[in-house]
Structure 1
Amino acid sequence: MTKIRGRARALRKAVTAESFRRRYANVGHLLSGNAATLVIGLFAVALTARALGPHEYGILALVISGAQAIDSFVNFQTWQPLIRYGADLDDEAHRDELMALFKYGLLLDMAAAITGWMIALGVTAIAGFLLGWEPAVYATVLTYSLVLLFRVNGTPVAILRLAGKFRATAYLQVLGVGARLIGCAIAFAMGGGVFAFAVIWMTTQILSQLLLAFAAWRELRSRGLHRLDKASLKGIRARFPGIWGFTWSANFSLTLWSSAQQLDVLLVGALTDPASAGLYHIAKRIGRAVQQAGAQVQAVAYPEIARLWQAGAIRAFRNVVLQTEMLLASAGLALFCATLLVAKPVILLVAGKAFAGAAPLLVVQMVAVTLVLSGSIARVALLSMGRERQIFGLVVLSIALFFATAALLIPRIGPMGANIAHIVLGSVWLLGLSILLKSGLAQARREDERAASSCEQSPAADRCADTLRHDAA
């Protein structure tokens, strides 16, 4: 009983801590923006689906998923190394380092954007020739691929997250999806086809990217860090040891992970038909909107987690990770229970009777979303601990099992096979992350104990002990 009371007091202390309140105030802003984006986005999806029907909506879904798949393969996800190496840098004391770091990320983003667009052009030419596409299909694919040229979002995201500008990040996305809804409403009223809706989705995604880049530029300008063209990249690897390896490792890891999130629609379309891909995409749009909530919480927690680990505050690091994981797991479970009750009415309301078959897909997909949601904070915790190689190995295993399951089940049971494959992926992913995190924390404790033992034998034992106590706070 005494132990239980002690834990209750510790929990109350954590809940009233200033950092806890600030963290979840930021989470509140992001989730509010995400909720508004979800609602407005569902109206846009509803208008698109009702205007096009399952077959043509499936074609649009394949075009969008193809561009997203290319982006996931070439995108460096530069926000990860920028946050990890920039979390403890100060504007005044480390001005040159910060500017070099942001320039490094921006150049990688630009190179990835141009490469992705060129790959899209090549893939379109080859696929069109082999499959005998009509000119209208060429026009749709080539037009939508322009969105890849503007996918320079990793560095702006890192800048805003490091600055704690989560409110701006949250509500900028609402403007982009709001513009999409207006465009879809106009196209719906005028009887627009696949090409018209592809142009609308492409244009509004570019608008969102430009708004994000402008907000990041304004933030840098207010801090006197906006002249990135003057920053020197000479010796960048010496100034930030391991940054190049971390960048590539994080890129490979997320590229593989994204392959399951982006190629699944294409896989369903290839192994079944466009109409089935359309049903699957409708369910996935709703499920992924929920998963984005986890990404928003991760966005708030990552800079703080990285700073705590670099400061050696292991206990505080563990508490933040556990608190946030419990929040996400509880939210995921609650959303799954809600989905059981409202999946079919929501699908009918959003897309109409033609898409009723997407309701059971949505229910099963929410199981996979809950699993992935529960492990999202453990992943960034392991990145902060320098365990990117172990994460990469776990990603390889999880993705291999996903594609094996999908290839086996989709031809037999259709789109539901892709959802079951996602559950397999999420289960292996969550279990593996839990094992890696537990192992990493145990190793950190052993190292602290060895440091404390060495400290006791040191001639300056009192000063050493004071330092250790400060680090553990």
Structure 2
Amino acid sequence: MQKLLGAWGKLVSGNAANGLLQLAIFAIAAQALELAALGVIILIQAYVRVVDGLLNFQSVNVLTNFMADAQEKAGPDRLRGLFKAGLFVDFGTAVFATLVALLCLPLADQLFGFGEDWLWFAAAYCLVILTRTFGAIEAGLRCFDRFGAISLRPVTASSTILFASLIVWVTSGTAQTLLIVWLCAEALANIAFLIWSMLTLRREGLAQLKGANANEAIQGSRNFWQMMWQTNFTYGLRIFSQEGDVLVVGALLGEAAAALLKAAKNLAALIGQFGAPLHRASSVPIARFVAVGETGRAFGFALKSSLGVAALGLIGTATMLVLTPFVLTTAFGPEFEPAYWIVIGLMLAKVLYLAGAALPPMMLALDIAKQFTTMILLGNIAFFGVLFALISPLGLVATVFAHLAFEAVWAIYGWSVTAGKARKAATLP
């Protein structure tokens, strides 16, 4: 547990810094642009994230599980083979996702109304997907306990984007200019991180990949492709609900409403920063516990750590009750004041998410990826069912109930099936 807290602390510090940087970036954009123009940028980014999440199959979660198992039971040859296989998945699906995003852009314009003036800029922004290829890289860094290195990527990217945004704001650049600057800044930061991480992993022993046997490593990893498809499909569905509300709000309520929702989600994301680090830091110890037959210990480890970060999330939400009005009106602008209760509601939804933050690595380690997919699918059904049922009478408030519905399904269903599987595995001889 002490090792987990150390890794979690490194990741939280990086995520917290990144969350604050993201708020600063949004504040600059809100000050520099009209609400409607900012809304168009938000819609383009949401469209790219949805396509990226659905089709860019990053291998991090599956690969972390198998690489941790290889460290315990196999040797460096299998480790290198798995890493090489992950790189092929990461870069191959990134290219595919980019092509789909470009081809479907005219349809997206009809649905969300970017406008002809934005199409070429939106097409250029789709290219950022090509640099979002961190799956195998992050899995390797996790297995060698390089969590500080993992936390550097979002902070570096956000710092670069913040600096570029300041230049656009000071020079009174257009909204289109801001979007292209964000593209270039993120792409350069991502590429720099990929190069630096590869050099780091080479020093840890993940070298001579050209001679590594990826096929042999995959064959020695039970249900590799099944878990890869199911896990990435599941995370694609998760991204669909995380970003889909912005697209729905933009299409039905307009670009300005999409900007208000994004402001609320950016603030609520500060609470969620506790979750992703736990997910990452707990994946290796959970996989190792299960690999040596200590399933009950793995379950207790996952449950206690999730409830701990959920408690921190409640404390953070109580604090933000006081700070949110200042941030909305002073940092973003007075037109964002109506988003106050949306922020608080979304923060409470994040607390529910934190209560299941260690579920993904736990379910993956127990080889119940199908149930994980079912959990996310049920959550999406609840999410979009509530959203479409309430958006007409309640407007933006409907998004709060939609997120609460998703996270309630996530926590209740996820822990019930995981407890049953862990109990059954613990009774086996």
Could you tell me the TM-score, scaled by structure 1's length?
A: 0.86
Could you tell me how far apart the structure 2 residues matched to 1:69 and 1:373 are? Answer: 22
Range with greater deviation from structure 2 (105-114 or 170-179)? 170-179
1:181: which partner in 2? 162
Aligned-residue sequence identity (percent) comes to: 26
2:391 corresponds to 1:410 = yes
The one-letter code matched in structure 1 to 2:378 is L
2:59 corresponds to 1:78 = yes
Could you tell me how far apart the structure 2 residues matched to 1:156 and 1:266 are? Answer: 31
Any conservation in 2 of the 1:77–1:251 contact (CA below 8 Å)? yes
The one-letter code matched in structure 1 to 2:69 is D
1:244: which partner in 2? 225
2:307: which partner in 1? 326
2:136 corresponds to 1:158 = no
One of 229, 233, 254 as aligned partner of 2:210: 229
Larger Rg: 1
Offset at 1:220? 2.4
2:76: which partner in 1? 95
Offset at 1:284? 0.8
1:379-431 residue CA offsets vs partner (Å, 9 max, x unmatched): 32121111111111121111111111111111221121112101011111111
Could you tell me how far apart the structure 2 residues matched to 1:183 and 1:294 are? Answer: 29
Root-mean-square deviation (CA, aligned residues, Å) is 1.9
1:30-62 residue CA offsets vs partner (Å, 9 max, x unmatched): 111112212222111101011112111111100
SS at match of 1:358: helix
Offset at 1:231? 1.9
Q: How does 1:343-382 map to 2 (within 5 A)?
A: 343-382=324-363
Residues 91/103 of structure 1: CA separation in 2 closer, same or farther (3 Å cut): farther
Residues 420/131 of structure 1: CA separation in 2 closer, same or farther (3 Å cut): closer
Could you tell me the TM-score, scaled by structure 2's length?
A: 0.95
Offset at 1:219? 2.4
Range with greater deviation from structure 2 (196-205 or 97-106)? 196-205
Could you tell me how far apart the structure 1 residues matched to 2:206 and 2:11 are? Answer: 25
2:254 corresponds to 1:296 = no
2:407: which partner in 1? 426
The one-letter code matched in structure 2 to 1:275 is A
Offset at 1:128? 4.5
1:12: which partner in 2? none
Could you tell me how far apart the structure 1 residues matched to 2:353 and 2:331 are? Answer: 25
Any conservation in 2 of the 1:169–1:212 contact (CA below 8 Å)? no
Could you tell me how far apart the structure 1 residues matched to 2:427 and 2:303 are? Answer: 20
Could you tell me how far apart the structure 1 residues matched to 2:281 and 2:196 are? Answer: 17
The one-letter code matched in structure 1 to 2:312 is A
Any conservation in 2 of the 1:77–1:250 contact (CA below 8 Å)? no
Range with greater deviation from structure 2 (162-171 or 335-344)? 335-344
1:331-350 residue CA offsets vs partner (Å, 9 max, x unmatched): 11112212222221121132
2:211 corresponds to 1:256 = no
One of 98, 105, 110 as aligned partner of 1:117: 98
Residues 132/439 of structure 1: CA separation in 2 closer, same or farther (3 Å cut): closer
Range with greater deviation from structure 2 (59-68 or 195-204)? 195-204
* Number of aligned residue pairs: 429
The one-letter code matched in structure 1 to 2:24 is F
Residues 169/373 of structure 1: CA separation in 2 closer, same or farther (3 Å cut): same
The one-letter code matched in structure 2 to 1:345 is F
Offset at 1:79? 0.6
1:285: which partner in 2? 266
Any conservation in 2 of the 1:103–1:231 contact (CA below 8 Å)? yes
Q: How does 1:62-73 map to 2 (within 5 A)?
A: 62-73=43-54
Could you tell me how far apart the structure 2 residues matched to 1:120 and 1:111 are? Answer: 15
Offset at 1:351? 0.4
2:407 corresponds to 1:391 = no
Offset at 1:91? 9.8
Any conservation in 1 of the 2:19–2:269 contact (CA below 8 Å)? no
Could you tell me how far apart the structure 1 residues matched to 2:427 and 2:206 are? Answer: 41
Range with greater deviation from structure 2 (130-139 or 167-176)? 130-139
One of 53, 58, 71 as aligned partner of 2:39: 58
Any conservation in 2 of the 1:156–1:213 contact (CA below 8 Å)? yes
> Which ranges of structure 2 fall in alignment gaps of 5 or more residues?
none
1:268-327 residue CA offsets vs partner (Å, 9 max, x unmatched): 111111000110011112222432331012111111111111111234323321331121
Residues 128/172 of structure 1: CA separation in 2 closer, same or farther (3 Å cut): closer
Offset at 1:266? 0.3
> Which ranges of structure 1 fall in alignment gaps of 5 or more residues?
1-19, 452-473
2:1 corresponds to 1:39 = no
1:6-33 residue CA offsets vs partner (Å, 9 max, x unmatched): xxxxxxxxxxxxxx22221121111111
Any conservation in 1 of the 2:379–2:410 contact (CA below 8 Å)? yes
2:323: which partner in 1? 342
Any conservation in 2 of the 1:217–1:226 contact (CA below 8 Å)? no
Could you tell me how far apart the structure 2 residues matched to 1:401 and 1:285 are? Answer: 23
Could you tell me how far apart the structure 1 residues matched to 2:113 and 2:230 are? Answer: 38
The one-letter code matched in structure 1 to 2:88 is L
Residues 369/351 of structure 1: CA separation in 2 closer, same or farther (3 Å cut): same
Offset at 1:90? 3.4
